Structure 1
Amino acid sequence: MNVLDELPVVVVGAGPVGLAAAAHLHERGLPFTVLEAGDTAAAAVRQWGHVRVFSPWRYNLDAAGRRLLDAAGWVAPDLDALPTGAELAADYLQPLAELPQLKPHLRYGARVVAISRLGLDRLRTAGREQTPFLVRLADGEDLLARAVIDASGTWNTPNVLGASGLPARGEGEAAPYLEHALPDVLGADRDRFAGRHTLVVGAGHSAANTLLSLAELAIGAPGTEVTWAIRSASPARTYGGGDADALPARGALGSRLREHVEAGRIRLLTGFSVHALDPADGRVAVVVRAADGGTESIVVDRIVAATGFRPDHSIAGELRLDLDPVLGATRALAPLIDPNEHSCGTVPPHGVDELAHPEPGYYAVGMKSYGRAPTFLMATGYEQVRSVVAALAGDWAAARDVRLELPETGVCNSDPAEAVSGDSCCGTASAAGPAGRGLATGVSGGLLAAPVNLIPLATVGGDAGCCGG
């Protein structure tokens, strides 16, 4: 017997996609260990627990996970209801993690800092495929694995506030005034925003949700001011498709935001990027630069950087990765998800072949697999791990029979030039996927929803993306 067959598959991350991978590994009879840096399952999801997703429950449940839960007598939620992040964690992810089939294989407080091959660096080729992976934890412990499924997400690696992919001047010094995506404006974080002037930077659903919460806060908290800055010339992409969206909550999100802007409750700056931050006297002056080179300075109390997320591939620095130079996704996947070309349209179903690297047995899945592209959906991640696990089990027919059905969406911008890096919303009409791969419909990258504090569901893998699934 090959020594690798006796080792577990290591799954990095116990979020929705990581737990789905665990469920599929159990069903396939493959040994596995799930390593979670947090102290509980779905640690990242709980950080945006106040947000309601715009994807109904039916799109948020993995098939293998649900089979295990149903067999244990789990009572499913209303499949047409829209859960909050807290409900997603408490009513689905935590029960899944507590199942006796999974719980003994989950380790919390286990932060992965490096992945390599036992005794081999990236340069060595001979015997590589037969050599176990070495997974090193922050406390110095080394684990061996037959394969690694990296579902660590991107929640902890947000994009910087400044333009050009670089921090704005003074961004480090202004850190005490900065908030990353989805602060709990109406709840735990209310005191930081009530009666103060907040600048929200970003054009995706994360920004839209924060803006709606701030507008609501301003009604009951005198002195609360809201300014919104976006790099594009028009907010049309953020406003979305309204009544044309097949996910009503998602369509309502943009419609309500437009109403607040038109009523003057939210000041909108278009065609601006953040150039510099200058903290002074308990506030921060923000210099925003227009496309023509002109600048404007705004003095605010808080800044919400809803500018998207990026993957951290440094933990796999000694593995042989083939990453697209633009997105940081695999080269095979990048053309299918590039927001420069696909701000509107379908992302075809994809699985193990598109996720494979020159390093056999290593797969980045979930939000991390999309690199900087914001068009990820949770349901997409579930299908990714189903395909990857089937391949690890040697069932290549199932691994390559990739299928995905998602709701149509009217959230669509026909001009690809409007798709800027960092934060984007991508909608799609239904379209046939590649031959033999089922139907790909309604792709967009997140999970938030509409009436109060809603976000695209794709973001839960580590974060906040754009549209819902």
Structure 2
Amino acid sequence: MELPVVVIGAGPQGLAAGAHLLERDLEPLILESGDRAGAAVSEWGHVRLFSPWPELVDAASRRLLETSGWREPESGYPTGAQWVEGYLAPLADALGHRVRYGARVVGVGRKGRDLSVDAGRAEQPFVVHVRHADGREERVEARAVIDASGTWGMPAPAGADGLAALGERAAAVAGVLDYGIPSSADAAALAGKHVVVLGNGHSAATAIGLLARVVKREPTTRVSWVLRRGQVGNAFGGGAADELPERGALGQRAHRAVTGGLVDLVTGFRTERIIRRDGGAVLVAEDGRELAVADRVIVLTGFRPDLSFLSEVRLDLDVRLQAPARVAVEVDPNLHSCGSVRATGAADLAHPEPGFYLVGAKSYGRAPTFLALTGFEQVRSVVAELSGDHAAAGRVELELPDTGACGGSGLFDAPAENSTGGCCGTGPQLVPLGARTAV
């Protein structure tokens, strides 16, 4: 009996991998730790995507769904919940018994070979260790493994050194600190309070735009937006130059919130500790600065890949981003890169362990720039490679939309006086910058 290709995660890329595998007469087995398709997406179901419907549906998945009479949404920007209901759940239904829920992968290796053994390694099947929701354990053999488990369950902490700030866990347990974009109802409940948002990516910009509307309705509300870097960099995105208009609009809304006085911007603030005070929390920077007591701290500093269950797989990962080395070159925010990134395929995603691939958001490691389109192209190429169609695997069938942003993520320290601070000309001249102390 032919062994299946095990796919880890029944999210957008995992389910798309299942559809592509079926098209090429390869049997998928999709293992999902949650209790439904798109379980992670459902956790941020209230958030609206900045990609329109046509860019959120994989081609092979569309072909599979159309055989069941499914009608594709034609326009608009769905929320996460609408994406699940209108596409991911029907796709999982179409894949049927090939998707197993409550099945958490806790280890991947080679049959009879630990990480150190070379002899006959590539000829052995993979073994995938699974822990089921009922406590039962299972070992599944596979001809290949596609890890599409994403990064949602691994939020980066508030601490500037990459570790949890002192007191961060206690603040989270007390309910004054969390790691998710608030819903409209959650934001409304913060009216009249002081809210600190930490982070400079799209999630942070989304939260800032949402909270700015609360400030308009209730001016006693105070919002502090905290950036670790000494310069704004691309925190406001590419604006009108972004080829995804809704992504550009996120940054524009955040920009207006800051320049309109609805949000206080704090730059160069590297959190060392979080102190509980007066029922709230105080963020303290490494240089001793303190923010005013916050009723709620929202940490949106990105996500990280969970590599804990891959300790017996030979991986070639970038030391900074924990992404496949050839992918990291394209997405590393430390580099002075402008505009769009290149689509990546099987050759970029390959590791020293033949037949093992990281795809989806996890393939970008700690980088924050992933798009669904990227993942769909990745799984198309990877599945083509697994089927032996090397020509199709080597083709690039996607040109990613330009971000409109230039200059990386901004200078880590505040720029010298009169410095432009950018890689492609003058740096962003959007708001006054500097070593501001919030009181």
**C-alpha distance in structure 2 between counterparts of 1:273 and 1:294, whole Å:** 10
Residue of structure 1 aligned with 2:408, choices 413, 416, 420: 416
Give yes or no for contact 1:343–1:418 (8 Å, CA) kept in 2: no
The residue that corresponds to 1:440 in the other structure is none
* TM-score normalised by structure 2 residue count: 0.88
**C-alpha distance in structure 2 between counterparts of 1:365 and 1:342, whole Å:** 24
Is residue 87 of structure 1 aligned with residue 82 of structure 2? yes
Give yes or no for contact 1:327–1:370 (8 Å, CA) kept in 2: yes
- After TM superposition, give the deviation of residue 166 of structure 1 in Å: 1.9
* TM-score normalised by structure 1 residue count: 0.83
The residue that corresponds to 2:16 in the other structure is 20
The residue that corresponds to 1:227 in the other structure is 224
CA gap 1:315/1:68 in 2 versus in 1, 3 angstroms? same
The residue that corresponds to 1:112 in the other structure is 105
Is residue 400 of structure 1 aligned with residue 408 of structure 2? no
Give yes or no for contact 1:340–1:416 (8 Å, CA) kept in 2: yes
Q: Secondary structure at the match of 2:290?
A: strand
- Greater shift, 15-24 or 251-260, is seen at 251-260
- After TM superposition, give the deviation of residue 249 of structure 1 in Å: 1.8
- After TM superposition, give the deviation of residue 245 of structure 1 in Å: 2.5
The residue that corresponds to 2:165 in the other structure is 168
**C-alpha distance in structure 1 between counterparts of 2:189 and 2:171, whole Å:** 15
Q: Deviations over 1:368-396 (max 9, x none)?
A: 01111112221111111111111111111
- After TM superposition, give the deviation of residue 334 of structure 1 in Å: 1.8
CA gap 1:241/1:320 in 2 versus in 1, 3 angstroms? closer
- After TM superposition, give the deviation of residue 221 of structure 1 in Å: 4.7
5+ residue gaps, structure 1 = 421-428, 430-469
Q: Secondary structure at the match of 1:237?
A: coil
Residue of structure 1 aligned with 2:31, choices 11, 28, 35: 35
5+ residue gaps, structure 2 = 413-423, 425-439
**C-alpha distance in structure 2 between counterparts of 1:392 and 1:240, whole Å:** 37
The residue that corresponds to 1:149 in the other structure is 146
The residue that corresponds to 1:462 in the other structure is none
Q: Secondary structure at the match of 2:69?
A: coil
**C-alpha distance in structure 1 between counterparts of 2:93 and 2:336, whole Å:** 39
Q: Mapping of 1:146-225 within 5 angstroms? A: 146-175=143-172, 176=174, 177-184=176-183, 186-187=184-185, 189-190=186-187, 193-221=190-218, 223-225=220-222
**C-alpha distance in structure 2 between counterparts of 1:409 and 1:309, whole Å:** 20
**C-alpha distance in structure 2 between counterparts of 1:349 and 1:248, whole Å:** 20
Q: Secondary structure at the match of 1:298?
A: coil
Q: Deviations over 1:266-288 (max 9, x none)?
A: 11111212121011342112113
- After TM superposition, give the deviation of residue 419 of structure 1 in Å: 7.0
Equivalenced residue count is 407
Q: Mapping of 1:50-449 within 5 angstroms? A: 50-79=46-75, 81-99=76-94, 102-138=95-131, 139=135, 140-175=137-172, 176=174, 177-184=176-183, 186-187=184-185, 189-190=186-187, 193-221=190-218, 223-235=220-232, 237-289=234-286, 293=287, 295-410=289-404, 412-413=405-406, 415-416=407-408, 418=410
**C-alpha distance in structure 2 between counterparts of 1:385 and 1:196, whole Å:** 45
- After TM superposition, give the deviation of residue 251 of structure 1 in Å: 2.2
**C-alpha distance in structure 1 between counterparts of 2:106 and 2:37, whole Å:** 19
**C-alpha distance in structure 1 between counterparts of 2:144 and 2:336, whole Å:** 32
Give yes or no for contact 1:339–1:375 (8 Å, CA) kept in 2: no
